[in-house]
Amino acid sequence: MSRFIDRNETVEVDLGPCQCPTKPHDTDKVRVRKYLSHADQLHLADAAGQGYTEAVWAAFNMRVASWNFTDEKGKPVALSRANWQNLDSESANAIQAAIDTIREDAADEAEDLPNP
């Protein structure tokens, strides 16, 4: 056990059949970070004060570690605010649902830890 989160600890989420233009893989996937640091949580609280869209963007930006989406030339699509804003509703909702589930699971896991 450590006092520090492991930003590399992620959960792979399968979004279903590949929808990339060149179909380089069978399924589209995102990797979602399991834990956030205290500073991350403070940033989320600040973002929530700026409105719902800012809060959702902040959660996406901090939680999504990677995705395997590619563009028309087969090049990786960067994780960016512009690309997040261009996601279709089905994809954005699936990613948000995965973030919510992983966040809830991590919170439940933390509640199960014994108090020292």
Record the tokens describing residue 59, joined without a space.
Answer: 């959660």
Alpha-carbon distance of 48 to 51, in angstroms, equals 5
What are the residue ranges spanned by the domains of the chain? Answer: 10-109
80-111: pLDDT as tens digits: 999 999 999 999 999 999 999 998 988 777 66
Tens of pLDDT, residues 32-50? 999 999 999 999 999 999 9
- Both tokens of 21, joined, read 């233009």
| pTM metric for this prediction | 0.87
